[in-house]
């Protein structure tokens, strides 16, 4: 058999490899089962995704509710300070266009504020004098009509379907008198608390007038100081959102003035036409009550129906009720969707829920301020969500610092990755975008 010369080196190489493998150390011995570390499984695989999302939302919403409740509680403790400031803010939003118009005619700032406030308080004083005179004249004739109405009610109780005898009616009246005497302490404490409330109202009125003067006189500097308290990176957003919220509140006040005037004229003129006494004071009462949207005009209109029932009988009261119902239909189907809706961008259901919630939390002040607060929050949150301060010309003129340390001095490009913002794309300038921006953030 013939041998090949290459076979011997190949066998030598195999023997060398075998000796090297034998010289290698043995691998680590296997660890016993009790020393092995358990395999770590992802905890998320044990919790369903829907439950994790619900838990994340739950603790965040719970935190918001707790903080909001604590804030409301603290505000109720200092309501003597908060309510006058909020009333002054609403009135300042109403009077600011008058002061601005005077400033455009080169009237000095202090003189413009003085003229605006004197005209406003003069108008209120004249209205109160007129209403007081009408009320004094009407109450004199209303006393006899009230006695006649009470006599008619007693006649109906005795001769109507109830068929009450005179002795039964006297017994009921005596029971009412005994109930009043037994609760005299509660009535006295209520009278004392009313005196305390009257003192609070007087102090609140003075604080309201004082705050109103400075809101009109130096409102810009006050707002700039408040914005300066925010972190430097957030000042532009806070400034733009606050200004846009103020515009929304001003629109709400003016539109609500129009709605209240329509309600007051409708119910007051209707009461005067059908012969209800005190028609002018009723109109003023409806005007003031209509600042609580939807509910206020209905509550004050019921006073007109009750007055018509006492003075003129149930037929006149039914006619007055029909007038109140027609005015409410006009407000609900014409004024609210066509006038109020575009101004504050709130659905009527949201308005009703806000009034109900505000009433439960803070009574009459809550019902009065719930809708403007909701309108301000709606507009401000939409403004921040759209990052509208990055191309708002008003904020650009203020010169607030941006997130990177530079200053917003004009329409700035958005910092949201590669997606361009409305200010960075070719199109209209920032000044031309301002009306569209206002409509977008108010929807």
User: Same structural domain for residues 394 and 270?
Assistant: yes
Which class for 67: exposed (0-12), middle (13-18), buried (19 or more C-beta within 10 A)? Answer: exposed
Residue 316 lies in a domain: yes
User: Same structural domain for residues 128 and 224?
Assistant: yes
User: Same structural domain for residues 206 and 292?
Assistant: no
Residues 125-155: tens digit of each pLDDT = 988 888 777 777 766 666 666 666 667 676 7
User: Same structural domain for residues 148 and 100?
Assistant: yes
| SS3 state at 401 | strand
Residue 62 lies in a domain: no
User: Same structural domain for residues 322 and 352?
Assistant: yes
User: Same structural domain for residues 269 and 288?
Assistant: yes
Q: For residue 116, what are the domain limits?
A: 78-172+202-229
Residue 386 lies in a domain: yes
* Domain count along the chain: 2
Residue 4 lies in a domain: no
Residues 294-333: tens digit of each pLDDT = 777 778 888 888 888 877 778 888 898 899 889 888 877 7
391: which DSSP letter? G
User: Same structural domain for residues 117 and 241?
Assistant: no
User: Which of 9-18, 31-40, 216-225 shows the lowest per-residue confidence on average (mean pLDDT)?
Assistant: 31-40
| SS3 state at 77 | helix
The Cα–Cα gap between 439 and 379 comes to 10
The Cα–Cα gap between 351 and 342 comes to 13
Residue 54 lies in a domain: no
**pLDDT, position 344:** 74
The Cα–Cα gap between 89 and 249 comes to 9
Q: What is the DSSP string of 249-273?
A: HHHHHHHHHHHHHHHHHHHHHHHHH
The distance from CA 12 to its chain's CA centroid, rounded to whole angstroms, is 95
The Cα–Cα gap between 238 and 228 comes to 9
The Cα–Cα gap between 294 and 299 comes to 9
Residue 413 lies in a domain: no
**pLDDT, position 259:** 87
User: Same structural domain for residues 248 and 369?
Assistant: yes
**pLDDT, position 368:** 84
User: Same structural domain for residues 316 and 248?
Assistant: yes
The Cα–Cα gap between 42 and 45 comes to 6
Phi, psi (degrees; rounded to nearest 5) at 401: -70, 150
User: Same structural domain for residues 216 and 262?
Assistant: no
The Cα–Cα gap between 267 and 260 comes to 11
**pLDDT, position 113:** 93
- Whole-model pTM: value is 0.67
The Cα–Cα gap between 73 and 361 comes to 9
User: Which of 33-42, 54-63, 298-307 shows the lowest per-residue confidence on average (mean pLDDT)?
Assistant: 33-42
Residues 352-386: tens digit of each pLDDT = 888 888 888 878 888 888 888 888 999 999 999 99
User: Same structural domain for residues 296 and 385?
Assistant: yes
Helix crossing, 109-159 with 79-104: angle to 10°?
130
Residue 263 lies in a domain: yes
The Cα–Cα gap between 221 and 201 comes to 29
CB 236 within 8 A of CB 115: no
- Confidence bin at 63 (pLDDT 50/70/90): very high
Tokens of 152: 């008619």
Task: Report the pLDDT averaged over residues 435-439.
Answer: 46
User: Same structural domain for residues 249 and 305?
Assistant: yes
For residue 424, which of 409, 437, 412 has the smallest C-alpha distance?
412
Mean pLDDT, rounded, of the chain: 76
Residues 207-236: tens digit of each pLDDT = 999 999 999 999 889 999 999 898 888 888
For residue 375, which of 260, 254, 289 has the smallest C-alpha distance?
254
Residue 242 lies in a domain: yes
């Amino acid at each position: 058999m013939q041998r090949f010369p290459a076979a011997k080196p190949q066998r030598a190489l195999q023997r060398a490899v075998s000796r090297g493998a034998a010289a290698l150390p043995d691998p680590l011995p296997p660890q016993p089962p009790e020393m092995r570390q358990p395999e770590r499984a992802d905890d998320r695989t044990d919790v369903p995704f829907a439950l994790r999302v619900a838990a994340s939302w739950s603790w965040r919403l719970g935190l918001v509710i707790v903080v909001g409740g604590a804030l409301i509680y603290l505000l109720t403790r200092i309501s003597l300070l908060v309510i006058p400031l909020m009333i002054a803010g609403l009135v300042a939003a109403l009077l600011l266009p008058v002061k601005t118009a005077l400033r455009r005619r080169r009237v000095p700032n202090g003189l413009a504020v003085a003229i605006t406030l004197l005209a406003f308080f003069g108008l209120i004083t004249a209205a109160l004098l007129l209403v007081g005179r009408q009320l004094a004249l009407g109450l004199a004739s209303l006393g006899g009509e009230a006695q006649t109405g009470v006599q008619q009610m007693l006649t109906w109780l005795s001769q109507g379907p109830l068929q009450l005898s005179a002795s039964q009616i006297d017994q009921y009246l005596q029971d009412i008198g005994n109930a009043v005497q037994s609760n005299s302490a509660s009535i006295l404490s209520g009278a004392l608390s009313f005196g305390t409330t009257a003192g609070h109202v007087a102090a609140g009125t003075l604080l309201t007038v004082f705050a109103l003067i400075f809101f009109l006189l130096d409102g810009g500097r006050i707002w700039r100081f408040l914005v300066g308290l925010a972190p430097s990176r957030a000042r532009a957003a806070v400034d733009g959102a606050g200004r846009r919220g103020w515009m929304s509140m001003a629109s709400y006040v003016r539109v609500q003035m129009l709605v209240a005037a329509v309600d007051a004229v409708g119910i007051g003129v209707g009461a005067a036409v059908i012969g209800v006494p005190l028609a002018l004071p009723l109109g003023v009462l409806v005007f003031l009550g209509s600042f609580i949207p939807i509910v206020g005009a209905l509550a004050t209109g019921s006073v007109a129906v009750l007055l018509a029932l006492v003075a003129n009988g149930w037929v006149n009261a039914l006619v007055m009720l029909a007038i109140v119902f027609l005015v409410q239909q006009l407000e609900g189907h014409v004024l609210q969707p066509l006038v109020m809706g575009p101004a504050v961008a709130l659905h009527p259901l949201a308005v009703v829920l806000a009034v109900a919630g505000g009433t439960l939390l803070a009574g009459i002040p809550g019902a009065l301020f719930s809708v403007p607060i909701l309108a301000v929050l709606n507009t401000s949150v939409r403004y921040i969500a759209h990052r509208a301060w990055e191309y708002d010309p008003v904020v650009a003129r203020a010169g607030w610092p941006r997130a990177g340390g530079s200053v917003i001095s004009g329409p700035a490009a958005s910092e949201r990755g590669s997606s361009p913002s409305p200010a960075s794309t070719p199109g209209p300038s920032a000044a031309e975008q301002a009306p569209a921006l206002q409509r977008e953030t108010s929807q």
